[in-house]
């Protein structure tokens, strides 16, 4: 099942297949706000849930995420379902945190569906918080399509100084955009002029610009 948010700017909009993060479902407040902001920027989003989250919705029991092969296979099935629909325009994959990481792993595979134009990662989990020795970027060298990462500068999964020190922004297929003061969910500092909604809208605008360039 997809949660669909139609573009508010016409039928030729890019489509983003959007996966959730590890702990919150496809209809969480963040995902709803992001999908709405993307629609205003001219992007149609299709949100789906991984198997473990589907089971949680059925019985209410919290579960850890499925293992990576299961997550990737679920993502492929969602891609195939989208591609089976008539009239599909430019299609991108992406997600929040873990969902974005899975999208980037798909983009790095040789059997990538040829219609996929690129990936967008909203808060990429470069490493687990407090574990800067466990970076999750080895596959970036194998990316088959461009990837846009939109990261808060205070994100404990990868803050700006350490990400730049690792040279992530020098990888040809990766574009990095920073939301000043944002945390992993793009929440700003209390003293900032922007509120949370405005930060999410900034992320949506950056994502939409990237998709229009790559369509």
pLDDT tens for residues 170-209? 999 999 999 999 999 999 999 999 999 999 999 999 999 9
Question: Tokens in use for 148?
Answer: 């846009």
Question: Tens digits of per-residue pLDDT, 124-147?
Answer: 999 999 999 999 999 999 999 999
Q: Which domain holds residue 67?
A: 3-214
Question: Tokens in use for 166?
Answer: 């690792």
pTM of the model: 0.96
107's CB contacts (< 8 A; 6+ apart) are 93, 116, 118, 119, 143, 144, 145, 147
List the 116-122 sheet strands across, edge first.
Answer: 3-5, 44-48, 15-19, 91-96, 116-122, 147-152, 174-179
Domains of the chain: total: 1
Question: Tens digits of per-residue pLDDT, 96-114?
Answer: 999 999 999 999 999 898 8
- In the three-class reduction of DSSP (H, G, I as helix; E, B as strand; rest coil), residue 127 is classed as coil
**Can you give the CATH number for the domain in which 145 is found?**
3.40.50.1820
């Amino acid at each position: 099942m997809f949660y669909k948010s139609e573009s508010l700017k016409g039928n030729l909009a890019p489509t983003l297949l959007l996966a959730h993060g590890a702990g919150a479902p496809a209809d969480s407040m963040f995902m709803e706000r992001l999908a709405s902001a993307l629609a205003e920027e001219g992007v149609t989003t299709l949100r789906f849930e991984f198997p473990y989250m589907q089971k949680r919705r059925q019985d209410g029991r919290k579960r850890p995420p499925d293992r990576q092969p299961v997550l990737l296979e679920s993502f492929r099935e969602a891609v195939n379902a989208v591609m089976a629909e008539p009239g599909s325009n430019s299609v991108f994959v992406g997600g929040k945190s873990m969902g974005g990481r899975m999208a980037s792993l798909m983009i790095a595979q040789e059997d990538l569906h040829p219609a996929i134009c690129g990936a967008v990662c909203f808060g990429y989990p470069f490493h687990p918080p407090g574990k800067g020795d466990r970076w999750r970027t080895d596959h970036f060298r194998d990316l088959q399509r461009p990837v846009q990462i939109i990261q808060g500068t205070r994100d404990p999964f990868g803050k700006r100084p350490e990400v730049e020190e690792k040279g992530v922004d020098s990888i040809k297929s990766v574009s990095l955009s920073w939301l000043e003061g944002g945390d992993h969910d793009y929440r700003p500092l209390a003293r900032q002029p922007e509120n949370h909604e405005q930060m999410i809208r900034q992320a949506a605008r950056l994502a939409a610009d990237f998709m229009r360039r790559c369509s």
